[in-house]
Every structure is written in structure tokens, then in C-alpha cells.
Amino acid sequence: MESRMILKVKHRTNKRTRIPVKATRAFTSCGVKVVTDKNCFSQSTAKEVSSKYKVDKFDLRDQEWTEKMSLCPVYRPSEMEFEDPVIYLQNIAPEASKYGICKIIPPINASVPADVVLMKELRNFKFETVLQPLRLAKWDVNDKVSFYRRGRKYTYREFERIANKSARRFPCSSFIPPEYMEKVFWQELAHGKKGTVEYGVNVDGSAFSCDPNDQLGKSKWNLKILPRLPKSILRLIERDIPGVTHPMLYIGMLFGMFAWHVEDHYLYSINYHHSGAPKTWYGVPGFNCGEAVNFASGDWFPMGELARQRYALLNKIPILPYEELLCNEAMLLFKYSMLKDYGDDTFKDSVSQRSVKVSFVRLIQLHKQVLERLEVSSTYPHAQRTLVCSLCKRDCYLAYNLCEWCYSDPICLFHEINSLHCSCGNKHTIFLREDLSAMEDAAQKFEQEEEILLELQKETNFGDDMQLQ
């Protein structure tokens, strides 16, 4: 059976999408909906199987909407195209972004299967599941919903046995089309009362093999490697962030589900379907084992800014230091652009370069505007890393307000601070990065480029959502 990657490249989209995924190894891209590959049964044959095993007891007439969802694109790269993940993803992004999700079938296979990795290479590997009710959850008086509770700990093989046992209500489920099982799932969710399923979600670890002879494991598509590739923005993050810069496993059973969500900071996401039954994104799997991690190329920065604004509105602490990442990437780009001849092709991608430059110029311009609006008479230099605003939790790298006496409770520049005093009774003082002038020079240089200037002129309304609070 050929191996499959279902790759998920995430963009904001209103289009709901379905994608076929093979039962074995697949990379998936996070986002909307994914369905497993259609098997060899025709519609009439599938009905005969369903009738024989009495799974047609559900009234599926109200599930016709599932048939109206379009399939997402499927890509089959050559070994040469497969060499550089970030470049390949950028090449397919114009089409894939219209769907919010896509599937990639790799030209190479993993020679060491996931169960061998999780039982032999990772000795004593166990994971804890969550117990999910197989019914629509009810909202409480505080507009909160309890989706699951803690389950038990299993080895990979133990959970596989339980998952296969739970699927025996459909004795021939491996031959029933995923489209039919999808309808059964939604019918069960709408009318179920007592059923539960277990799902191993956000399990720390990876099922990519360390065997040097494993072709997929030693490739750049290994999810332990991909976030730190030279063209990935996340390489600039020094610490490991589980699920973002370091992969996590998702080990599920029939009708296990993962709630609809957006990725942290609107990052791109990639999921590899290691093994097991077909999987449907938003989820109508049988037993299966997937692995996911985030990554970002330069064209992510506009989405990252939108996420940053939303996090501030929700008063949510950021996981990534957006300003710091953007400034560091832009200054590296500026440094290399000053060289007449440089061999590193990390910064030669025009799409990523344009996104980095435009986002950076906007950021510098925005801070200039805010400083002028605040009528700042004096500032202090700083060389610290990112701080978090104590009021809105926005990440602050270029500038922030801070009490010069006790250095507590930093505040970003997007608040009216004239009337704000520190808890110690003293006023706040604005601190600016000591290398801000160098960044302003770089931004001015970028702004002189014709395509950057045109892009900035097209979006003259940028910053309207960043008024003082």
C-alpha cells in the first residue's frame, strides 16, 4: 500500500473542503475538512455491505450536506520537487490556499513503521487519552462547554486493540466508504446519548524514525526537522514549543474528534498520517496515528499580524514573539541584501522577501505614528528581549512603557498612558530599542524598492485597527 502525506497548508478561508486520505502514512494540512480516499466499492456495492451488516438503521437523509463539499487538491511531487518542503509549499500555495487544506502524496516512504518507533525506539512510551462523549455537548450558563474528560494511559498496542474492538459494531468498516461513515458519525453525534470514545490528543513525541536508512525520517519532511529549516521563520525561536516547533502525536479511534480551531498565531500546520484506518478532517477516523507541527515562511507575517491583533483583543498571552521574529528576519534580510554576492539562498525567495519587507515597514511606520501621537519628549534605550503588555498581553519588542523606578507592569504603546501610573505611584517612561535607528534605516531602504512601495500604497488603511486603547 503506497504511503500518503496529507499536508495541511493553512490560510483563512470560508470554503469548507473535503480531502481523501489513505489509510496509511499521510501528511495533512490543518484547516477545514478532510475525508479518506474513496475505496474500490461502487455506491451500489457499498449499500449492499451496509445492509448486510445493519448499519443502515440510521436515517441519513439529513446528512446530504456532506455530499456537497468539494474535494481539496491532491499533489504528487517528484523526488526533486520534494527536496525542499518550504519551497514546494510556497509553489502550491496559490491553489491550495483557496481550499485551506491540501494533501500531498510523497515520492518516498518511511521504512520504519510508527508502531516500531513507538514500541522499540521510544521505550516505555505511553500516552494518556481524553474521554469524549459521542453527542453534541451542551453549553452551560457561562457559555462554556465541557468537551471531554481524562481517560486512561495506554501503550500504542494496547490502545490499538481497544480501538479495533470499539469498531466491531461495523464488522466490515474497512470496506465501507468513508463518506458513509461520515454520515453515521454526524447522525450519532446529533442523536447519541450514552456513547463515548477515547482519543490521545497532544501527545508529546514523534513517530518519525531515527534510523539513518529510513528515507522519510532523514528527509526535511521529518516533522522534528521541518519547523527549524533555514527558510522557516520558526528557526529564530530559541526555545521548544510543543506542537509548534516540536511535533505532537494524535492517536485516535472510530468517531474520535478534535474540535474546530485555528492554529496558534494563524501559523501553517502540517500533519503526517503515520498509520491506521482512513481519517476524515474534521474527523471520522478509525484507529489511526497522526503527527502534527507548525511552521512558517516569510509570507506568514501578514497573517501573524492579524493573529497578534486578535490576541490583544482577547487579552490572550502570545506564544510567539511576533515583533521580535519580524525584526530579526528583516534585519537578516537587510544584512544579506547589502552583500554583492552571497551563496546562501535562504533569502532569495521573492514572495517571502516581499512579505517580510512590507510587514516590517508597516511595523516601523506604525510605531513612528504612535510615538508622534503620544508627543514623546524623552525616551530611554533598552536592549531587552520581548516583554508582554500587562494590559492587553500584546508582545512588545521595539518599544514599551515601563516604570523607571520599579520596572514592573510593562505597557505597550497602544494605550493612553498619560493618566496611567505604576502601582508604586510613579509615572511610566517609554523605552525604545537601542538599535531602533538601524531598523528605521533598513525600513527606509526597503521602502525605496518599487514593488514594496506599490504594496504599501495598496494598503494605506493598515493600522486602522491599531488605535490607542
Where residue 54 falls among pLDDT bands split at 50, 70, 90? very low
Q: What average pLDDT does the segment 400-427 reach? A: 76
d(CA 269, CA 101): 10
Amino acid residing at 282 = Y
Q: Is the separation of the CB atoms in 17 and 33 below 8 Å?
A: yes
The grid cell for 14 is: 470560508
Q: Could you give the 3-state DSSP secondary structure of residue 149?
A: strand
d(CA 208, CA 100): 25
Report which of residues 161 and 168 the model is more confident about: 161
In SS3 terms, 432-448 reads as: EECCHHHHHHHHHHHHC
What count of other Cβ atoms lies within 10 Å of the Cβ of residue 418?
9
Four-residue CA torsion sign, 6, 267, 201, 158? positive
Confidence check: pLDDT of 10 > 90: no
Apex 451 CA angle, 450 and 455, nearest 5: 120
Q: What average pLDDT does the segment 351-358 reach? A: 90
What count of other Cβ atoms lies within 10 Å of the Cβ of residue 85?
25
Q: How far apart are the first and last CA of the chain?
A: 57
Q: Is the separation of the CB atoms in 347 and 441 below 8 Å?
A: no
Task: Tell me the per-residue pLDDT of 90-101, one tens digit each, with 9 for 90 and over.
Answer: 899 888 888 778
Where residue 68 falls among pLDDT bands split at 50, 70, 90? confident
Amino acid residing at 232 = S
The grid cell for 376 is: 514623546
Query: For residue 284, which phi and psi values (nearest 5 degrees)?
Result: -130, 50
Amino acid residing at 362 = R
C-alpha distances in angstroms, 175 versus 39, 278, 279? Answer: 7, 11, 14
> Which value, to the nearest 10 degrees, does the dihedral of the CA atoms of residues 173, 176, 178, 182 take?
-80
**Which candidate, 60, 304, 88, 89, places its Cα nearest to that of 185?**
60
In the DSSP assignment, the letter for residue 172 is T
Confidence check: pLDDT of 33 > 70: no
pLDDT in the model for residue 145: 63
Residue 153 parent element (H or E): strand 149-154
pLDDT in the model for residue 453: 87
Residue 90, C-beta contacts closer than 8 angstroms, at least 6 positions apart: 297, 299, 349, 351, 352
- DSSP per-residue letters across 382-427: E----EE-TTT--EESSEEEEETTT--S-B-TTS--TT-B-TTSPB
Task: Tell me the per-residue pLDDT of 266-321, one tens digit each, with 9 for 90 and over.
Answer: 898 888 989 888 777 743 337 566 778 788 888 899 999 999 999 999 999 999 99
Q: Could you give the 3-state DSSP secondary structure of residue 294?
A: strand
**Which candidate, 465, 469, 463, 452, places its Cα nearest to that of 368?**
463
Task: Tell me the per-residue pLDDT of 414-442, one tens digit each, with 9 for 90 and over.
Answer: 887 665 667 777 777 888 999 999 999 99
Q: Assign residue 371 a region (left: φ > 0; alpha: ψ between -120 and 50; beta: otherwise).
A: alpha
For the chain, which residues make up each domain, given as ranges? Answer: 17-296, 301-458
Strand partners, 154: 127
CA 162 from centroid of its chain's CA atoms: 29
Report which of residues 374 and 117 the model is more confident about: 117
**Which candidate, 454, 452, 465, places its Cα nearest to that of 306?**
465
Q: What average pLDDT does the segment 40-63 reach? A: 37
Topology of 17-296 in CATH? Jelly Rolls (2.60.120)
Residue 12, C-beta contacts closer than 8 angstroms, at least 6 positions apart: 100, 266, 303
DSSP tally for the chain: helices H, then strands E: 10, 16
Apex 229 CA angle, 225 and 230, nearest 5: 160
pLDDT in the model for residue 79: 94
Q: Is the separation of the CB atoms in 161 and 135 below 8 Å?
A: no
Q: What percent of the chain has pLDDT over 90?
A: 36
pLDDT in the model for residue 3: 41
